[in-house]
Structure 1
Amino acid sequence: MVRLRALLFTAVFYGFSVPIVLLAPVMAVFGERAFRRWVLLWTDFHAWCARALMGIRTRIEGAPLATPALYAAKHQSFFETFELMRMLGAPAVVMRQEYARIPIWGWAAKRYGVIVIDRSGSAAALRQMMREAKAASAAGRSVVLFPEGTRSPVGEAPPLRSGLAGLYRAIGLPVVPVALDSGKVWPKDGPMRPGIVTFRFGTPIPPGLKRDAIETQVHAAINVLNR
Structure 2
Amino acid sequence: MARGELMGRLRERVFKAVFYGGSVPIVLLAPVMALFGQRIFRGWVVGWTRYHGWCARNLMGIRNRIEGRQLDGPALYAAKHQSFYETFELVRLLDAPAVVMRQEYARIPVWGWAARRYGVIVIDRSGSASALRQMMREAKAAGAAGRPVVIFPEGTRGRIGEAPPLQAGLAGLYRAVGLPLVPIALDSARVWPKHGAMHSGIVTLRFGEPIPAGLPRAEIEARVLREINVLNDPPLQGGDGGPQG
Which band: TM-score by shorter chain?
Answer: over 0.9
Equivalent residue runs for 1:61-76 within 5 Å? 61-76=67-82
Distance apart, 1:102 and its partner CA: 2.1
Specify the alignment match of 2:169 in structure 1.
Answer: 163
Query: Of residues 58, 65, 80 in structure 2, which corresponds to 1:59?
Result: 65
User: What is the DSSP-based 3-state SS (H/G/I as helix, E as strand, rest coil) of the residue aligned with 2:176?
Assistant: helix
User: What is the DSSP-based 3-state SS (H/G/I as helix, E as strand, rest coil) of the residue aligned with 2:48?
Assistant: helix
Does structure 1 residue 116 correspond to structure 2 residue 122? yes
* Unaligned 5+ runs, structure 2: 1-6, 234-245
User: What is the DSSP-based 3-state SS (H/G/I as helix, E as strand, rest coil) of the residue aligned with 1:23?
Assistant: helix
Distance apart, 1:68 and its partner CA: 0.3
| Residue range with higher mean Cα deviation, 102-111 or 146-155 | 102-111
Distance apart, 1:119 and its partner CA: 1.2
Taking only the aligned residue pairs, the percentage that are identical comes to 75
Distance apart, 1:161 and its partner CA: 0.5
Specify the alignment match of 1:127 in structure 2.
Answer: 133
Q: How many residues align?
A: 227
Specify the alignment match of 2:197 in structure 1.
Answer: 191
The one-letter code matched in structure 2 to 1:132 is E
Query: Of residues 2, 10, 15 in structure 1, which corresponds to 2:8?
Result: 2
Moved over 6 A (4+): none
CA deviations over 1:48-74 (Å, ceiling 9, x no partner): 010111110001000100000000000
TM-score (norm 2): 0.91
CA deviations over 1:80-135 (Å, ceiling 9, x no partner): 00000000010000011111122332222111111011112222221111011011
Question: How far apart in 1 are the matches of 2:168 and 2:210?
Answer: 21
CA deviations over 1:20-58 (Å, ceiling 9, x no partner): 011112212322111110001000000001011111000
Does structure 1 residue 95 correspond to structure 2 residue 111? no
CA contact (8 A) 1:77 1:188 kept: yes
User: What is the DSSP-based 3-state SS (H/G/I as helix, E as strand, rest coil) of the residue aligned with 1:197?
Assistant: strand
Distance apart, 1:4 and its partner CA: 1.1
Query: Of residues 178, 183, 192 in structure 2, which corresponds to 1:172?
Result: 178
Question: How far apart in 2 are the matches of 1:184 and 1:105?
Answer: 30
CA deviations over 1:111-170 (Å, ceiling 9, x no partner): 111101111222222111101101111111010000111001100000000111101111
Pairwise CA RMSD: 0.9
Query: Of residues 22, 29, 47 in structure 2, which corresponds to 1:16?
Result: 22
Question: How far apart in 1 are the matches of 2:50 and 2:121?
Answer: 22
User: What is the DSSP-based 3-state SS (H/G/I as helix, E as strand, rest coil) of the residue aligned with 1:152?
Assistant: coil
The one-letter code matched in structure 2 to 1:218 is V
Report which of the two structures shows the higher radius of gyration computed on alpha carbons: 2
* Unaligned 5+ runs, structure 1: none
Question: How far apart in 2 are the matches of 1:66 and 1:100?
Answer: 29
TM-score (norm 1): 0.98
Specify the alignment match of 1:208 in structure 2.
Answer: 214
User: What is the DSSP-based 3-state SS (H/G/I as helix, E as strand, rest coil) of the residue aligned with 1:64?
Assistant: coil
Question: How far apart in 2 are the matches of 1:57 and 1:105?
Answer: 29
Question: How far apart in 2 are the matches of 1:107 and 1:8?
Answer: 31
Query: Of residues 92, 101, 104 in structure 2, which corresponds to 1:86?
Result: 92
Question: How far apart in 2 are the matches of 1:178 and 1:70?
Answer: 10
